[in-house]
Every structure is written in structure tokens, then in C-alpha cells.
Amino acid sequence: MKDKVVLAYSGGLDTTAIIPWLKENYDYDVICCCIDVGQGKELDGLEERAKLSGASKLYILDVVDEFCDDYIVPCVMANATYENKYLLGTSMARPLIAKKLVEIAEQEGAVAICHGATGKGNDQVRFELGIKALNPNLKVIAPWRCNDTWKMDSREAEIEYCHAHGIDLPFSDDSSYSRDRNLWHISHEGLELEDPAQAPNYEHMLVLGTDPIHAPEEPEAVSITFEKGIPVAINGERMKVSDIIKELNALGGKHGIGICDIVENRVVGMKSRGVYETPGGTILIEAHMQLEELVLDRDTMSFKKVVSGRLADVVYEGKWFTPLREALQAFVESTQEYVTGTANMLLYKGNIIKQGTTSPCSLYNASLASFTTGELYDHHDAEGFINLFGLSLKVRAMMKDELQASKEDLEL
């Protein structure tokens, strides 16, 4: 029997060309594995396509709810955002895909896992760190790094290679963006985005949403309810997290929410420009942050921002299966005990406008915050507090005065 390799399969041109390439260069039995994290119609016709391309078997694993509950929710709890803009759509999905690839490889007794990520991108790092963490005995094959055997450097070359191996599929010379889609987002790279001086062509690009300029003239109200940091309802209707994200994607996309144009710093060291559409995720994280404003104390909120930034870096770098990610997530989850309540918002032409937040665990005390003197706060107490809080500043100023006086005495 031939050795087996598990191929991370999308059904696109790259992974289709990889099937005959693996058979030709490694003489492997190719088992395709497509992990459904919410790609939608992109999965249509995969089984026939994989078999026509020479694969011996195809797995399609629906892990949408696992993706939402175990990967997206922890990042929402953390408000995890890479470089203040990117909501980690691709980054969160890759470790789960790596986990499932390893599980199928072990189930099939495969010796290797193959992925189609390029040698310039982040995904090669994310896939391979996940595989190493979960099964270091599996070989990893990355065709785009195999310079001696992978000679294809364009779509035209890949189409020609497929035709030469008897694979006639409806691929064409494509002038579209390079995209990655899951339930949380869709990313766009290439074409005019490769020049940071050019504006994005939103008319040609957008998939999940609309340009805010062309969004409806009337705002739309939405409320999100959380229980211990987990989103549980939209406008009072309870539903599972995956359905909440689907619903918010439709609402946010309609109103031009969550379009992010960013030049980011990749793990491998280069800068790259991309546009991310994350309509539902943008609404969710904004609602969660509004609720935390009401519930978290000052010190916890301040330190959580540090932890959230570090967690975003760890996830972006593909270090999901690490003790550090587990520890950071444990801290974040400990802060969510009282993050329960509802955030109300208006969606309007790319904007999310706060409309009031309520929580049974609110730390906002009207008696304290009001300009009217209340029982819990004595204005006279502030004088002693300020004297102590500013004591180091006063001592330093006195020292400087003394030094200046000594200097003047010496000059005399």
C-alpha cells in the first residue's frame, strides 16, 4: 500500500493542482480534507472535483459551531484585535483547521500533511505550528516552498499542469482578489491593494457588505445580550453563537459595517495590505466593549487591555496550542464573570452608534456619578486624596526649587 498524505483542500486551483503534483513527486495516496468553517457556497461540488483530480477520498468536516464556541468566543471576550484593526478572522480559523487535519491524518494512518499556503504568508506558520504542537511526527509538505519540484508560478501554469494531467475543470485565468472566507469574515488581497497609494475598489471587491456611501439612509437599531461575556441574543431573541454571527453579518453588511483597510505586519517580517470585511464581528466586539465599560473596574479593565493585545499577537502568530494562549485566555475568562447585560446600538453608514447599555452587574452608581451631591461621596475627601496622590510631584518640585536656589547662590 502507498503511504497516505492528507491535503488541506479548498477545491480552488492551487489545491487542485497539488493533488497530481503529490502523486507525481511523492507517489502518495492523496486524501483531501476540507474543513467547513463557514465558507458557504465555496464548498459546492467539492467531492466530484476532488475525485476528478485524482484524490482517493474526501472529508468535509462541518466545524462551524466548534469554530464559534471555542475559537471566536474567547477572542470576543478578549476584544482581541491585531494592530488595532484586524479582528483575526483567518488567524482564529487556522489552528482549528490544523487540529482537524491532524485528527484525519491519525485516523487514516497518514505520514504527512500538505497545505497550499505560500512561502510569503502567515498561514504556513499557523498551520505548521498547529501540526507540530499536536503531532510532531507528521511530515509537513508545503509545495510553494519546494523550488525543485513545484515549477508553477501563475494561474496559467497551474491550469496547464492540470490539463496535462487530464484534469479539465472550469478554472480560468482569474483577475480577482486573493480571498479567504469563513463565518467570521472575508479577506481580500491583490490587484490594486498591492499599491498602498491606491484606493480600494469597493464596487468590485465587497462580498459580505456594501460601501457605506451606498448604505441605507435610515439607521437600524440592534441590541446584543451577553451572559458572562458570551453573546446569547439579538433583539431579545436567544440563539446559538453561529446564528448570532450570521444574523449580524447580514445586518452589518447591509449598513456597511466592519470594512477594514489595513497595512499589517506579517509574522514573516514583511508588510502587506489587505481589506477585511467583518460586519458581524465588528458589531459583536463593539457591543462587548460597551458592556465591559459598565461592568469592569478600572484596574481590571486597564490590565485586560494589555492581555488582550498580547493574546491578539499570539493568535495572529499561530501560537494557539501554547501554554501562553491558555494562560491569557484563562485570565480573560476570569474577567467575564459579571459581563452580563445588553448593549443597544444604531447601525448607520459604516458607524455603530451607542444607544445605551444595561447590566444587573453595573458598577455605575448614579449617586456617585451625578453632579448632585449624594450620600456615598463627600467632596471634602478629595482634598486629602489629591494631597497624597500628588505628593511625589510636590516633593520633586520642591527639590528642583532647592537646586535652582543653590545654583543661584553659587553664581553670586
Task: Give pLDDT tens digits for 321-379.
Answer: 999 999 999 999 999 999 999 999 999 999 999 999 999 999 998 767 666 656 777 88
Note the pLDDT tens digit of each residue in 99-124: 999 999 999 999 999 999 999 999 99
Q: The whole model's pTM is what?
A: 0.93
Cell numbers for 377, please give them: 461621596
State the distance between the two ends of the chain, measured CA to CA, in whole angstroms: 99
DSSP characters for 176-210? Answer: S-EEEE-SS-EEEESGGGGSTTSPP-HHHH-SSS-
Architecture of the domain delimited by 181-296+335-364: Alpha-Beta Complex (3.90)
- For the residues 82-87, what does the mean pLDDT come to? 97
Stronger pLDDT, 36 or 407, i.e. the higher one = 36
Instruction: Give the DSSP H/E element, type plus range, for residue 354.
Output: strand 351-358
- How far apart (Å, rounded) are the C-alpha atoms in residues 316 and 324? 13
CB 124 within 8 A of CB 14: no
Q: What percent of the chain lies above the pLDDT cut of 90? A: 88
pLDDT band at 20 (very low <50, low <70, confident <90, very high): very high
Domain with CATH 3.40.50.620 in the chain: 4-164
- In this prediction, residue 372 carries a pLDDT of 64
Is the CATH number of domain 4-164 3.40.50.2020?
Answer: no
Per-residue pLDDT band for 267 (boundaries 50, 70, 90) equals very high
* Backbone torsions φ then ψ of 95, nearest 5 degrees: -65, -35
User: DSSP class of residue 270?
Assistant: -
Enumerate the CATH 3.90.1260.10 domain ranges in the chain, comma separated: 181-296+335-364
The answer, yes or no, to whether residue 255 has pLDDT greater than 90, is yes
pLDDT of residue 14: 94
Is the pLDDT reported for residue 314 higher than 80? yes
| C-alpha cell belonging to residue 197 | 497609494
Asked whether 35 and 63 are in contact (CB, 8 A), the reply is yes
From the CB of residue 207, how many other CB atoms can be counted at a distance below 10 Å? 12
Q: What positions carry a catalytic annotation? A: 14, 94, 123, 178
List, for residues 277-309, the tens digit of each pLDDT value. 999 999 999 999 999 999 999 999 999 999 999
Quick one: the chain helix, strand, coil %, rounded to 5? 45, 20, 35
What is the phi/psi pair of residue 203, to 5°?
Answer: -60, -35
